[in-house]
Structure 1
Amino acid sequence: MENLPLLKVQGLSKFYGGRIGCTNVSFDLWPGEVLAIVGESGSGKTTLLNSLSTRLTADAGMIQYRMRDGAMRDIARMSEAERRLLMRTDWGFVHQNPADGLRMSVSAGANVGERLMAVGDRHYGSIRAAATDWLSRVEIAQDRIDDQPRAFSGGMRQRLQIARNLVTSPRLVFMDEPTGGLDVSVQARLLDLLRGLVQDLGLSVIIVTHDLAVARLISHRMMVMKDGHVIEQGLTDRVLDDPREPYTQLLVSSILQA
């Protein structure tokens, strides 16, 4: 099924009263592909991400997802229970602020283990072993397994949130500015880690970022948004090296001048 899209989006729109959040967005996402959604603050990229991940209910359009059995399902026609199961198993969501994606009052190991319990794992030994393995995979020392996230740095919290999301082997992960608010050196380390995990696990990722350097490093394809519209899309290197729309040219030149 590698030659079939994992996600098909057609005419997706979300409005806030008379204001456009995003409108008439269509694209296919392929297995193992990383798609970056870029644009300035207020461009609609976060609204689009939240609509795609069903955190917001779209006002128009269709989102179809290819299940593990190969069947293409319309997300809007799923029951609430089916959608919740999808979010706990096949999908992940990495927040910009790790505290939004973690339980800060329980241990690092419990944060990872909870997601395994949500899919039916009840064996304490195997849950703890999986949590230990994932902490090491995201470069958190195994002796921190019983520490709470509040004792971690911002970069460590973000890596813990990534481990919590990936422990159930999802096929699609949504990321909202995952490097935002981190020091440059911490950002670089996190990006290296993300690139390695995406490649090793064959993940499909939709990542929102205002940072074109992040988009270039991690994504295969890019969509540029302005005022709720996708104004340009294509292979990441093509869009950044040869932007066709004046707005994209402005974005790229502002990075070069920074």
Structure 2
Amino acid sequence: MSVTLNDEPLLNVSGLTKYYGGRIGCQDVVFQLWPGEVLAIVGESGSGKTTLLNCLSTRLPPSTGVIEYRMRDGSMRNLYQLSEAERRFLMRTDWGFVHQHAADGLRMTVSAGANVGERLMAVGDRHYGKIRATAADWLGRVEISEDRIDDDPRSFSGGMRQRLQIARNLVTKPRLVFMDEPTGGLDVSVQARLLDLLRQLVADMGLAVIIVTHDLAVARLLSHRIMVMKDGLVIESGLTDQVLDDPREPYTQLLVSSILQV
């Protein structure tokens, strides 16, 4: 994938470290993310990638380090110096978070349309007709039939729930979306359909995305750049195709070769 980067980063991360008592979650992570860029964080279970994602998305406070985000007014703000209300507003409007298990990112007892409409209300929309029309449009964009708008997600398949979660996150036109193993647990055919949809939406909307995955095929398909983690450390990073086609570190070489042997 190619990307045209803006001059100023959207996210600036320096010295990010998280300890769990004496155990390292992630340590001394440094990177920048630009608008419209997709960054994949890969590694085996326990490598620290989910800890890093949770720190970046303010779901887990780091032990040390700084995470700065460029607000819509152009100012760069330290995320952990924002008020709780400011952070909540970011998470409802400017950011999205796509969970591996869609039930964690949806309200399962309200309709599909209401799941999408709630995000619109968070940015100030109050006209019921417009909210419903926008929700119906977004259901169509994620390949859910409009006649399912009043059904609740408990009646949806796993793939449909994940597509609904994506619609719920993207309806407010966020600038940054965090994704935690978005294709995990889905059948291979459902994964392929979801990945095609994600790639198209990310490109169409110019989204910046940080995606955690153990699946290098997902990283190759969706991301411009990749960071490989092992034991809480980023051991290799660079352009996705470059790292996956010519890995420098033995651990990355092992990850790549294990995929090829499957």
TM-score, with structure 2 as normaliser: 0.98
Determine whether 1:190 maps to 2:194.
Answer: yes
Determine whether 1:232 maps to 2:236.
Answer: yes
State the match for 2:88 in structure 1: 84
Determine whether 1:7 maps to 2:11.
Answer: yes
Q: How many pairs does the alignment contain?
A: 258
Whole-angstrom distance in 2 between the partners of 1:62 and 1:122: 37
State the match for 1:177 in structure 2: 181
How far the C-alpha of 1:2 sits from its partner, in A, is 2.0
State the match for 2:162 in structure 1: 158
How far the C-alpha of 1:41 sits from its partner, in A, is 0.3
Q: Of the candidates 197, 215, 221, which is equivalent to residue 219 of structure 2? A: 215
How far the C-alpha of 1:168 sits from its partner, in A, is 0.5
SS at match of 1:193: helix
Determine whether 1:139 maps to 2:143.
Answer: yes
How far the C-alpha of 1:120 sits from its partner, in A, is 1.5
What value does the CA root-mean-square deviation take over the aligned residues? 0.7
SS at match of 1:41: coil
Determine whether 1:129 maps to 2:137.
Answer: no
TM-score, with structure 1 as normaliser: 0.99
Cα deviation 1:182-205 (Å, max 9, x = unaligned): 000000000000000000000000
For structure 2, the residue ranges without an aligned partner over 5 or more in a row are none
Whole-angstrom distance in 1 between the partners of 2:59 and 2:6: 27
State the match for 1:98 in structure 2: 102
SS at match of 1:146: coil
Whole-angstrom distance in 1 between the partners of 2:94 and 2:122: 12
Cα deviation 1:16-62 (Å, max 9, x = unaligned): 00000001001000110000000000000000000000000011000
Percentage of matched positions with identical amino acids: 81
How far the C-alpha of 1:245 sits from its partner, in A, is 0.3
Whole-angstrom distance in 2 between the partners of 1:219 and 1:145: 31
How far the C-alpha of 1:173 sits from its partner, in A, is 0.1
SS at match of 1:96: coil
SS at match of 1:173: strand
**Structure 2 letter corresponding to 1:97:** H
Whole-angstrom distance in 1 between the partners of 2:162 and 2:19: 31
State the match for 1:245 in structure 2: 249
> 200-209 vs 114-123, which deviates more?
114-123
For structure 1, the residue ranges without an aligned partner over 5 or more in a row are none
SS at match of 1:170: coil
Q: Which runs of 4+ in 1 moved over 4 A?
A: none
Q: Of the candidates 41, 62, 72, which is equivalent to residue 37 of structure 1? A: 41
Whole-angstrom distance in 2 between the partners of 1:129 and 1:73: 35
Q: Of the candidates 68, 84, 97, which is equivalent to residue 64 of structure 1? A: 68
State the match for 1:75 in structure 2: 79
